[in-house]
Amino acid sequence: MDGHFTGYASLFGVPDLGRDVVAPGAFAASLAARGAAGIRMLWQHDPAEPVGRWLSLREDSRGLRVAGQLNLAVQRARELDALLREGSLDGLSIGFRTVRAQPQRGGLRRLEAIDLWEISLVTFPLQTGARIAAPDRTSLAQDLHALARRMAPPRRPAPPSTRPGSRPAAILPAPSARFA
C-alpha cells in the first residue's frame, strides 16, 4: 500500500452531532491563507500523533474534499493504512476555530467562516458523513492488468505441434520478393 486516500472531511449543510452546520465557502479564507501544507494530518486530534500530510484540500459543491498521504515511515501511519485498506477505519474530523457563526432554528449553529487547523483520521467522526472513500480495488486490479499487458513482451505464434496425431499447420506460400 502507498498510504494515499481521498474523502470528505466536512459536508456542507449537514448538521453534525454537535449541532453545527458548515456553510459553503466557510473554509475559503483559511485554505487560501494556509494551503494544504499548513493544515496538519493527525490521528484522533492528538497533536502528538501526526501521521501524514494533505496533498490537496478544496471545497466543492458537497463539502471539503481531501486527498492525503500517510507517512509510512511512521509506525502509527502504517497501522492506519492497514486499517483503511481493510475498511476498519474511515472517519475524518476537522479541528478548527470558529471565525463567524449564526444561530439557526432548532438549536443549530451555521458556521460561515472557519479557521481550519487540522484534519484527523478518527474512529467516530462528529459529522457522520465525513468519511474516507473506500479504495477502488476493482480499478486498481484493472490498472495492474493493463500495465502487465503493456510491459509483457509481444506474443509469438506457437510453433506447429509435433505431437503424434496432431494435424499439420496450414502451409502458406512464401511472399515473393520483387525488385525493380
Tell me the catalytic residues.
45, 93, 118
Q: How many Å apart are CA 28 and CA 125, to the nearest integer?
A: 22
Distance of CA 80 to the CA centre of its chain: 14
Question: What distance in Å separates the CA atoms of residue 84 and residue 177, rounded to the nearest whole number?
Answer: 63
Closest to 59 (Cα-Cα) out of 107, 95, 12: 12
Among all chains, which residue has been given the C-alpha cell 486499517?
83
Question: Which amino acid does the sequence have at 155?
Answer: R
* CA–CA dist 75, 57 (Å, integer): 25
Burial of 27 (C-beta count, 10 Å sphere; 0-12/13-18/19+): buried
